[in-house]
């Protein structure tokens, strides 16, 4: 039974990895059971049995993308020294992650958030919750940088985080559109300058 569960979990992860790539390029609405089945050489019924509905597949893909982002960006950055090194380290890892096309569409959340930001529903709510959680983490790290004396005491950390996220999203968009690395390098230079580094 444990072997069966392990195989089932492995199959689910393979499906979600492909789903993340599809959604990163074609959006979560472009994600269909039929396309996944064709791409993976699987049956529609086998994939449908894993998720039950398109919305559940979309939600599972969002959760999987968060797991991938956490493992590649957040967890390593949080091992950096407290203050600006941690905040800058997180941003730089985000840019490396996007530029490396770990998800074919660059930053998964930048891609699919634009698709759902004006809609209502569970998928939009899941994306908004994750976006808010990321901003909250950045605010906490910026606050720690103030506490460490790395940033001025009167720093508006919410404004700072808005700018950091804006630079990251702009780099992802321009990097994808131009197929060049320069937007990522410019975004990192802009954030370093903003943080006094």
Q: Of 112-121, 124-133, 175-184, where does mean pLDDT reach its minimum?
A: 112-121
> Tokens standing for 91?
């941003």
Res. 1: pLDDT tops 60: no
Q: Of 7-11, 12-16, 115-119, where does mean pLDDT reach its minimum?
A: 7-11
Rounded Cα distance between 42 and 38, Å, is: 7
- Exposed, middle or buried, 24 (CB in 10 Å: 0-12/13-18/19+)? buried
Rounded Cα distance between 37 and 39, Å, is: 6
Q: pLDDT tens digit string along 63-115?
A: 999 999 999 999 999 999 999 999 999 999 999 999 999 888 888 998 899 89
CB atoms within 10 A of CB 118: 7
Q: Which of 8, 114, 107, 16 is nearest to 58 (CA)?
A: 16
* Reported pTM: 0.90
CB 188 within 8 A of CB 95: yes
Domains in the chain, CATH or no CATH each: 55-194 (1.10.357.10)
Q: Which of 134, 72, 70, 67 is nearest to 101 (CA)?
A: 72
**Predicted pLDDT at 36:** 92
> Tokens standing for 10?
């492995």
**If you ran DSSP here, which 8-state letter would residue 151 be given?**
S
Rounded Cα distance between 123 and 65, Å, is: 13
CA gyration radius, the chain: 18
CB 31 within 8 A of CB 22: yes
């Amino acid at each position: 039974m444990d072997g069966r569960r392990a195989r089932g979990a492995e199959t689910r992860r393979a499906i979600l990895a492909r789903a993340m790539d599809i959604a990163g390029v074609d959006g979560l609405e472009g994600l269909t059971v039929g396309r996944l089945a064709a791409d993976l050489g699987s049956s529609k019924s086998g994939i449908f049995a894993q998720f039950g509905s398109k919305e559940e597949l979309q939600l599972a893909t969002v959760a999987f993308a968060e797991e991938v982002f956490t493992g590649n960006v957040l967890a390593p950055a949080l091992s950096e020294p407290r203050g600006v090194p941690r905040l800058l380290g997180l941003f730089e890892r985000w840019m490396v992650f996007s530029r490396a096309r770990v998800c074919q569409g660059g930053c998964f959340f930048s891609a699919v958030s634009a698709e759902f930001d004006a809609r209502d529903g569970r998928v939009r709510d899941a994306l908004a919750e994750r976006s808010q959680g990321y901003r909250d983490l950045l605010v906490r790290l910026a606050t720690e940088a103030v506490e460490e004396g790395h940033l001025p005491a009167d720093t508006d950390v919410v404004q700072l985080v808005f700018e950091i996220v804006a630079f990251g999203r702009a780099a992802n968009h321009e990097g994808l559109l131009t197929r060049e690395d320069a937007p990522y390098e410019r975004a990192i230079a802009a954030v370093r300058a903003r943080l006094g580094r």
